[in-house]
Structure 1
Amino acid sequence: MAHSRGDTRARILHTAAELFQRQGYGATGLNQVLTASGAPKGSLYFHFPDGKEQLAAEAMALAGAEMAERMAEAVAAAAGPAEAIAALGALLAQGLENSDYRDGCPIATVALEEAGDTGPIHDACQRTYELWLRGLVEQFRGWRLAEQEAQELADLAMSSLQGALLLARVRHDTAVIHAVARRVGAMAAQAASAALGPIAAQGASDR
């Protein structure tokens, strides 16, 4: 059965995203991407005329968008901030365990390589983190947290979980992810409770 051009392009992108996640940008060669994806020679530059840089930028955007969807699903049923952060921790821990501790954050390895540079790869990684953070901020705002506090808690949760993910990968033990999620979740829950306090008090006085 013949594959369409769209199928080939998508297959190359997903394969590249997996390899970049595991190995980083510098250690991943285009021939490896082609071999692992089963794409015909010449197809890479046909679909990605700007070469490896374009491929990496689009792969990071794709991986980031897919993770954003999984994150949104994980926190959708959360009753509050603590449950939401615990759900995110569980999502990251499960992904790490399923890969036998080979795969961490979908974009962190490349993001660290490109942190000191400018260009499409750096921009794609930055937009991805902002996408994830925006989702968390919207969740926290739903629990009546003020905008600045929601942003600060989102930054804290994301940076803490990212660090815990790295430590868990080194230790081959996801316990640290769940422990950090509980700690940060408790702080977020306390902030949400404080935000609801004046509203609850006002409601009681109106009765």
Structure 2
Amino acid sequence: MGRRTDTRERTLRTAATLFRTQGYHGTGLNQILAEGGLPKGSLYFHFPGGKEQLAAEAVTLAAGELCDWVRTTLAAAPDPASGLDAVIAGLAEHLAASDFQRGCPIGTVAPDGGDVVRAACATAFASWHAVTRDFLVHHGVPHADALATTVLAALEGAQLLARTTHDTAPLYAVGATLRTLVKGL
């Protein structure tokens, strides 16, 4: 039983990395198997729903880990502006460390997957929104729900721009604007 779990976990992690780097359509099942060193029969054994199920579960895994990191990062911050700065710095560091290859684990998959993948992406975005909103509420920021949506949308766009230009400047520009916005509330 342990080996099956290891194979399933390796498949998910390999898929999450490839989907995050190449998107849904740019990632093939044979590539996932080859890069993960996985036996051919394992994919449909562990993921009978095929690529759609694998992508949805990979999104859920990667998004959950990122959400946990955001929650921990925000919880360590003394105020909303510092929390947002820390999240932006971490995202910028991750992008630069991957040579701008690995952006948001949701944004690269969301537009292209089917209903199951889109549902997993929507759930992931909702969890990140909730973490951000709850952090803002905790700090007494008014209109926390709308601001959390703005933060999420701004960060998604900034990550896309940063990946496209191979420059973290868009993340820091968004960060400066969000800092001003949060401090003005």
Cα distance in structure 1, aligned partners of 2:13 and 2:183: 37
Cα distance in structure 2, aligned partners of 1:182 and 1:88: 12
- Superposition map of 1:81-96 within 5 A: 81-96=80-95
What's the offset of the Cα at 1:3? 6.2
Partner of 1:184: 178
Structure 1 residue 126 and structure 2 residue 122: aligned? yes
Q: Mind listing any 5+ residue stretches in structure 2 that lack a counterpart? A: none
Greater CA radius of gyration, 1 or 2? 1
Partner of 2:24: 25
Cα distance in structure 2, aligned partners of 1:73 and 1:8: 29
- Runs of 4 or more, structure 1, over 4 Å off, are none
Partner of 2:61: 62
Structure 1 residue 113 and structure 2 residue 112: aligned? yes
User: What is the letter of the counterpart of residue 30 of structure 2?
Assistant: N
What's the offset of the Cα at 1:190? 2.2
User: What is the letter of the counterpart of residue 182 of structure 1?
Assistant: A
- Percent pairwise identity: 44
Cα distance in structure 1, aligned partners of 2:46 and 2:150: 38
Q: State the secondary structure of the residue aligned to 1:4.
A: helix
Cα distance in structure 2, aligned partners of 1:112 and 1:51: 18
User: What is the letter of the counterpart of residue 132 of structure 2?
Assistant: L
What's the offset of the Cα at 1:160? 0.8
Of the three residues 144, 154, 174, the one matched with 2:168 is: 174
Cα distance in structure 2, aligned partners of 1:55 and 1:105: 17
Q: State the secondary structure of the residue aligned to 2:108.
A: helix
Q: Give the TM-score of the pair, scaled to structure 2.
A: 0.95
**CA RMSD for the aligned pairs?**
1.4
Q: Give the TM-score of the pair, scaled to structure 1.
A: 0.85
Cα distance in structure 1, aligned partners of 2:167 and 2:49: 40
Aligned residue pairs, count: 185
Cα distance in structure 2, aligned partners of 1:44 and 1:127: 24
Partner of 1:142: 138
What's the offset of the Cα at 1:179? 2.1
User: What is the letter of the counterpart of residue 137 of structure 1?
Assistant: R
Cα distance in structure 2, aligned partners of 1:190 and 1:81: 11
User: What is the letter of the counterpart of residue 19 of structure 2?
Assistant: F
Q: Contact 1:101/1:172 (CA < 8 Å) preserved in 2?
A: yes
Q: Mind listing any 5+ residue stretches in structure 1 that lack a counterpart? A: 192-207
Q: Contact 1:165/1:177 (CA < 8 Å) preserved in 2?
A: yes
Q: Is the deviation greater in 164-173 or in 61-70?
A: 164-173
Cα distance in structure 1, aligned partners of 2:82 and 2:180: 9
User: What is the letter of the counterpart of residue 131 of structure 2?
Assistant: G
User: What is the letter of the counterpart of residue 106 of structure 1?
Assistant: P
